[in-house]
Amino acid sequence: MWRSWTKARGKGAFSEPKTPTAKRKVPLPRGLLLRLKARREELLERLTPEEVDGLFLVGGVKPVDPDAFNHYLRRLAERAGLGRVRVHDLRHTWATLALSRGVPLEVVSERLGHASPTITLNVYRHLLEEERRGWVLDLEELLYPAPRAQA
């Protein structure tokens, strides 16, 4: 990720990410990467490289307003009974799932573009504390195993 699409005073524009660590490579699944590359090639057949400023284009020229995508996602989530969901919630969900599956904090922090793992730790500390409680239970099972039933 090397730039952000932000909206200020009703107008959208590309800008530099907030921090140096926010500029990063974001690994993508191979299938998605192939589809994105194909889409880029399609766009380059119709537009100059300067015009290809976004992956999500309206009318082939103008990037989609981030608010429009949030609005669409919100309607979709409400229909599915999920309540209010924003694009930022997808980022939080990814981080939560990654940490709950044992992805190291440093890796999650890097992928999120946080300036340091401390920021990630402060946001997701509750997950790690829940995990620690689970480790205590596992230790108890190791120290005091339940008697095995004899056949």
Q: What is the pLDDT of residues 39-56, one digit of tens each?
A: 888 888 887 776 665 555
User: What mean pLDDT, rounded, does the chain reach?
Assistant: 80
- Interval 100-110 mean pLDDT: 92
pLDDT at 120: 93
Tally DSSP H helices, then E strands, for the chain.
Answer: 5, 4
Q: What is the pTM of this model?
A: 0.61
5 three-state secondary structure? strand
**Residue type, position 148, single letter:** R
Q: Where are the domains of the chain?
A: 1-84, 86-151
- Interval 55-78 mean pLDDT: 73
pLDDT at 78: 93
